[in-house]
Amino acid sequence: MATLKATSNTTPFLTSLKSYLSEAHPFERPSVLYRPHAVPWKPYIVRLGRAVPMYTLGMAAFLLWPFAAKGLINASNMVGQKPLAKKAKR
């Protein structure tokens, strides 16, 4: 009867499969070897400085247009120029 002996050559298939499935080079950069780059804050601040006035004006126009429309309607109807009529007593 034949017996199987455990030798060091019992898993060459698994080691070759592991080397076949593993990537030859890591896709991500190892963070231990490379220092992070410095963030250029000046362009971001310049862009923010250009954008803030436009967003401020846009939000003011979006939130305040009902009051402007009310003022225009009242001015065209001359609502504020006439005194209110007194209620009739019954």
Q: What is the residue extent of each domain of the chain? A: 38-77
Instruction: Enter the pTM of the model.
Output: 0.43
Query: What is the reported pLDDT for 63?
Result: 97
Tokens of 54: 């436009």
Q: Which residue has the tokens 């954008």?
A: 51
Q: What is the pLDDT of residues 21-43, one digit of tens each?
A: 777 766 666 667 777 789 999 99
